[in-house]
Amino acid sequence: MDKILRIDMGAEGGPKVTVSPVGAYAGLGGRSLTSSIIAGEVDPMCHPLSAGNKLVIAPGLLSGSIAAMSGRISVGCKSPLTGGIKEANSGGQPAQMLARLGYAAIVLEGKPKDDRLYKIFINKDGAKISEDKSLRMLGNYQVVEKMKGEFGDKIACISIGQAGEMRLSAASIAFTDMELRPSRHAGRGGVGAVMGSKGVKVIVIDDAGRQTRQPKNPEKFKAANMKFIEGLRAHPVTGQALPSYGTNVLTNIVNEAGGYPTYNFKQGRFQGAAKISGETYAELETKRGGLATHGCHSGCVIRCSGIYNDKDGHFLSKQPEYETVWAHGGNCGIDDPDKIALLDFLDDDIGLDTIEMGVTIGVAMDGGLIKFGDADGAINLIKEVGKGTPLGRIIGSGAAVAGKVFGVEKVPVVKGQALPAYDPRAVQGIGVTYATSPMGADHTAGYAIATNILKVGGYVDPLKPEGQVELSKNLQIATAAVDSTGMCIFIAFAILDQPETFQALLDMLNAFYGLELTAEGVAELGKKVLTMERDFNARAGFSKIHDRLPAFFKAESLPPHNVTFQVTDEELDTAFNW
């Protein structure tokens, strides 16, 4: 990956393509590259939907190679939801294909002066941009079908649905999976709205004629990759739990721990959790002819995804992720797995972040718009977003906006972004991550659940404040580095518990690039990324007062443990001391 594809969507005479060497960005990939470009090239005070913002799409350092788990992709911009820097991460096929075409990143710049809508086709011969009015206000699934009809079925697509076109703050960007379904999403922070502001509906990638990226030391790379795979398969989380039940294996675990936010974060256990657990979904998937174990991109060996069919055996959605099941399920008081799967499909098709949508509907329920447990009412609200009605635009703008519109005091957001599926009162380490991450509330930024609940990488008591800041800080550093490699964040379970698996990852990077990277070097990369991101946010007007949870988490205790969030503001302010 030795070049960057820049497309100026606001150039005189129409969009202009420029291909340049990576230059000063050499040695970076994924999140480290997206954040470097945004931090260095975007005015932090610009409007997120203006010509001054940029959308960066970057595969990781090992994407396009035979490295297992290396197919993740990063999307960066100034977020319309948080107003700060954003990196949203997705699986799917585009990362592998872009990397094989030699692109370290696609950078969408500028903004069309009119309301034209474009598609971009990228192959070994370069990029071609053309207007396509027929794509206007189509869902992601229809868009991909049209692209298959035009370009064949050996492609990958990056697209937005209606929410992105309307530039709604909860809009996601869809990435197609191995079956060419737009079921993988860079969901968080409204990145789809930025793509919509650039006038781009879909990017089609065809890597025909290009080979897998080759390492500088093939034998050492192959040996390290095999050792890495062995470690993943030997770990109980990555080798057994996730392949068997997907990410939703966490529902029963977190519910039992009393950290499962229910009825808009009013209690920590949901009575209907067993009905929507990973075990239940896996049983239904197998019974209905779907798949309980499935990879979201080529090279995945954990295979925590799945295919969920309806009662008649027809495809309904990809296996709903834990966060999605919680957001539309327990958080809203809904325990019907089919209704939750339909909500997942609608979010994917319209192009919406499932976490933001579930929390937004929970806030709307709290405000009396519909009742908790009203699955059909929730489905209708998501459909309203797709139609672009005034109510739909409110819902599609996220939980913070909905809270203001419906007069709700308790709105679970940090920096304007909805909290994911772990209550910070019962899992204090994740509360530190929510509060202090440059991304706004984001569980993947520093996944303290691993140590607080699953006892991976040691154990820190989730109900007590001691040790939580240090835990979150170290995990945020490690995550920023992992997000730069193109690796799935779930490798963290194995590398935290197995030193030899972490060493295998280092050996892969070293063999591929001819480096001598050490664990200390990985930590330095993570710190560099976080420093850039926090500096961007500071220049955008953020201060330590933005690194806080909503006040009700400190004021109101959470059943069943009846505990509040106890990490002090002074402790939170030390999270990035290094």
What CATH number did the domain enclosing 493 receive? 1.10.599.10
Measured CA to CA, the distance from residue 330 to residue 365 in angstroms comes to 13
Report how far residue 268's alpha carbon sits from residue 254's, in angstroms, rounded to the nearest whole number.
9
Whether residues 458 and 381 share a domain: the answer is no
Burial class (CB in 10 A: 0-12, 13-18, 19+), 514: exposed
- The answer to whether residue 252 sits within a structural domain is no
- Round to whole Å and give the CA distance between 568 and 578: 19
What pLDDT does residue 158 have?
98
What Å distances lie between residue 98 and 73, 204, 227, 329, CA to CA? 10, 10, 26, 35
What is the model's pLDDT at position 296?
A: 86
Which amino acid does the sequence have at 154?
Answer: K
Report the C-alpha gap between 118 and 206 in whole angstroms. Answer: 17
Clarify whether residues 441 and 414 are in a common domain: no
Which amino acid would we find at residue 441? A
- Rounded to whole angstroms, the Cα distance separating 157 from 122 reads 10
Q: Into how many domains does the chain fold?
A: 3
Q: Do 472 and 404 share a domain, yes or no? A: no
253, part of any domain: no
Q: 220 with 190, same domain?
A: no
Residue 436: burial class (beta carbons within 10 Å; 0-12, 13-18, 19+)? buried
Element containing residue 45 per DSSP (H, E): none
Which tokens sit at 430?
């994740």
H helices of 216-368, in order, are: 218-234, 236, 242-245, 250-256, 278-287, 322-328, 337-350, 354-366
What pLDDT, on a 0 to 100 scale, did the predictor assign at position 299? 86
Q: Considering 395, 421, 447, which residue would you say is the last residue of a domain?
A: 421
CB atoms within 10 A of CB 275: 16
Which stretches of the chain score pLDDT less than 50? Answer: none
Does a structural domain hold residue 389? yes
Q: Are residues 459 and 332 in the same domain?
A: no
The pair of structure tokens assigned to 538 is 């500071």
For residue range 232-272, list pLDDT tens digits in order: 999 999 999 999 999 999 999 999 999 999 999 999 999 99
Whether 445 and 398 share a structural domain: no
408 and 428 in a single domain? The answer is no
Bridge partners, residue 4, by sequence: 20, 105
Evaluate whether 329 touches 276 at the Cβ level (below 8 Å): yes
Residues 272 and 165 in one domain: no
Instruction: Among 421, 449, 472, identify where a domain stops.
Output: 421
pLDDT of residue 511: 97
190 and 235 housed in the same domain: no
Q: Is residue 250 part of a domain?
A: no
Residue 274 sits in the same domain as residue 183 = no
Cα radius of gyration rounded to whole Å, the chain: 22
410 shares a domain with 299: yes
Tens-place pLDDT, residues 405-451: 999 999 999 999 999 999 999 999 999 999 999 999 999 999 999 99
| 316 is a domain residue | yes
Q: Could you tell me the end-to-end alpha-carbon distance of the chain, in angstroms, rounded to an integer? A: 32
CATH number of the domain to which 362 belongs: 1.10.569.10
8 A C-beta contact, residue 143 and residue 151: no
Residue 391 is assigned to a structural domain of this protein = yes
CA distance 533 to 510: 26
CATH number of the CATH domain containing 101:
3.60.9.10
Identify whether residues 234 and 269 lie together within a single domain: no
Give the per-residue pLDDT at 1: 82
Rounded Cα distance between 282 and 341, Å, is: 13
- Nearest 5 degrees, angle CA 101-CA 107-CA 110? 145
Q: Tokens 């319309």 correspond to what residue?
A: 80
Which of 400, 421, 442 terminates a domain? The answer is 421
Does 210 reside within a domain? no
The pLDDT value recorded for residue 294 is 86
Give the residue numbers spanning the domain of 10: 3-205
